[in-house]
Structure 1
Amino acid sequence: MSYADLSQARLYYVIDGPADAPVLVLSNSLGTCADMWARQVPELSKHFRVLRYDTRGHGKSSIPDGEYRFEQLAGDVAELLDGLGIARAHFCGLSMGGPTGIALALARPELVDGLILCNTAARIGSAEGWTTRINAVAEQTLERMAPALVERWLTDGYRAAEPGLSQVLVDMLRRTSDAGYSRNCAALRDADYRDRVAAIRARTLVISSTHDLAATPAQGRELAAAIPGARYVELDTSHISNWERPEEFNRAVLGFLLAQ
């Protein structure tokens, strides 16, 4: 296993693909880990050196004390890239990974080539909603909440057709630390990039999902409209679009990144 000891956290990471290929960083959603990208790696690693990592508070990465901010989460990525000697990379983040990419593109624009923001928004949810979620985790634990949360991640049709793959996500969420989850919820509670995304200069693709209640298509179109030159794609999925329609997701990502 590979770990990077950073100034504020210890990140688990894994790399697939040719050593001389352009780097593509994949950033996980709230409550998952690097494994959520398993259905992308075989195809994307044909063209890119795919760098996946567990966001702090998730998976095998450390769980630093205190509430987190996206400036810290983006700083973790910047330190990881610097430590690996990567001067520039594409970045793809889903849900919580989206604001991480936004914060990185704003703070360290020299690091980001193509930026892909999936099932996300410049402002995800409300402060009240995230406070309620934090309190619910404290009272109920993710172990008990996981099945209901995953129901919002996937369409009813997918869960009926693929119960085993749906269960993989339930179990991934169950293995997430309650403390790590809640500290990342605090980052989502406090983050609002609506007034700042127009300053992004990276080539950007926004991917939304027709049935996504957590980050709606309207929010995705708003995000794409606010970023100069951004493209927009909408998939017939719910929140974890890369898991539900991996082939379509992969085509969208590759079509964008390989079009120079």
Structure 2
Amino acid sequence: MNFLKTASAVIHYRTIGLETGKPVIALANSLGTDLRIWDEVVARLGDKFAFVLHDKRGHGLSDVGNAPYSIFDHVDDMAAVLDHLNLKNVIVCGLSVGGLIAQGLYTRRPDLVKALVLSDTAHKIGSDEMWNARISAIQANGIGSLLEPIMERWFTPPFRTSDNAVYAGCCNMLVRQTLEGYCGTCAAIRDADFTADAARIAVPTLCVVGDQDGSTPPALVRALADLIPESEFVEIENAGHIPCVEQPDAYVAALLPFLERCA
């Protein structure tokens, strides 16, 4: 296991294949998940690319740090990992809040970013009222109290079955995140707005979304793509908010032509 002590937190990270000299993809995961959501993607792309993954602060094995967070707390953590590994000009792929982190990374440290994959995300996600209500509900009753509605946004009905062990594991992953880290990241999402910055993105960008995403629906992700000059947009069929888990074959097939062009 690899850990990096930043100015305000210890961040858990993983590297795969950096010694090979292959093009590097840095992956940023979604709210309520850890770096394991990328396992199937890494397995399918591993003969072509190297990878850097990390747990956001407040998630997985990383420190909670000082919550609530700003989106740039998460951005600075990701930048610190890449700097620690002496990496620049990587392909940055972020899912949901990870997509906000990716946009923030380009805004603050464009030297680190060669291309962007913005997955199931937006320039601004949700309203202040929505996020404040979620924070209040979780602080009062725990993450488990919102398990069902969250899973309805994450995954399609055929995936959410009692005999699907992967689905059960995703439920476990969500409810085992720290309350402080989850709510702290909700606050970061609430306050993040890259509407103006999106028009200034000048690296190749792919916006991708599950066609049944209940958190950042296709119309919202397309609106992000419309803001970014010369970006591409792809929908993944039969997938919710986390297509890298629900439809990894289709997800990789959608990303691979773009990734190969940017490598």
In structure 2, the partner of 1:256 is: 258
CA-CA distance at 1:162 after TM superposition: 6.0
Which amino acid in 1 is paired with 2:159? Y
Runs of 4+ in 1 over 6 A off after TM superposition: none
- Deviation of the 1:161 alpha carbon: 8.5
TM-score normalised by L of structure 1: 0.96
Letter in 1 for 2:14: V
1:28-47: CA deviation from partner (whole Å, max 9, x where unpaired):
10000001111111112211
The aligned counterpart of 1:223 is: 224
Determine if contact 1:18/1:45 at 8 Å carries over to the other structure: no
CA–CA separation in structure 2 for the residues paired with 1:111 and 1:15? 16
Relative to 1, partners in 2 of residues 1:244 and 1:4: Cα closer, same or farther, differing over 3 Å? same
For residue 192 of structure 1, what is the aligned residue in structure 2? 193
Residue number in structure 2 paired with 1:87 = 88
Q: Secondary structure at the match of 1:156?
A: coil
3-state SS of 1:39 partner: helix
Q: Distance in 2 between matches of 1:162 and 1:129?
A: 32
* Aligned-CA RMSD value: 1.4
Residue 9 of structure 1 corresponds to: 9
Q: How many positions carry a matched residue from both structures?
A: 260
How far apart, CA to CA, are the structure 2 residues paired with 1:33 and 1:210?
23
Does the aligned pair in 2 maintain the 1:23–1:49 contact within 8 Å? yes
For the residues of structure 2 that align with 1:161 and 1:203, how far apart are their CA atoms?
40
Which of these residues, 219, 242, 245, is aligned with residue 244 of structure 2? 242
Deviation, 1:114, is 1.4
Q: Distance between the aligned counterparts of 2:60 and 2:185, measured in 1?
A: 13
Answer with 229-238 or 138-147: which moved more. Answer: 138-147
CA contact (8 A) 2:92 2:102 kept: yes
Aligned residue identity for 1:253: L
Q: Quick one: distance in 2 between partners of 1:252 and 1:33?
A: 22
5+ residue gaps, structure 2: none
Query: Which residue identity does 2:230 align to in structure 1?
Result: G
Give the equivalent residue in structure 2 for 1:145. 146
AA of the residue aligned to 1:97:
G
Percent identity, aligned pairs only? 35
Give distance in 2, aligned partners of 1:87 and 1:97.
18
User: Is the contact made by 2:8 and 2:66 (CA closer than 8 Å) also made in structure 1?
Assistant: no
Instruction: Tell me the CA shift for residue 18 of structure 1.
Output: 5.0
- Give the Cα–Cα distance (whole angstroms) in 2 for the partners of residues 89 and 169 of structure 1: 28
Helix, strand or coil: the match of 1:251?
helix
**C-alpha separation between the residues in 1 aligned to 2:255 and 2:15?**
18
* Aligned residue number for residue 160 of structure 1: 161
| Residue 213 of structure 1, CA deviation | 1.9
What letter is aligned with 1:226? L
Partner Cα distance (1:187, 1:222) in 2: 21
**CA deviation string 1:63-110 (max 9, x = no partner):** 011311112211111111111111221110101101000000111111
Aligned to 2:54: 53
The separation in 2 between residues aligned to 1:153 and 1:200, in whole angstroms, is: 28
Residues 109 and 202 of structure 1 are in contact (CA less than 8 Å); yes or no, is this contact kept in structure 2?
no
| Amino acid corresponding to residue 251 of structure 2 in structure 1 | F
Contact 2:41 2:244 in 1 (8 A): yes
Which residue of the partner structure matches residue 174 of structure 1?
Answer: 175
Q: TM-score, normalised by structure 2?
A: 0.95
Question: For residues 171 and 187 of structure 2, what CA distance do their matches in structure 1 show?
Answer: 22
Is residue 34 of structure 2 the alignment partner of residue 33 of structure 1? yes
SS for the counterpart of 1:36 is helix
What is the rounded CA distance, in whole Å, between the counterparts of 2:42 and 2:144 in structure 1?
28
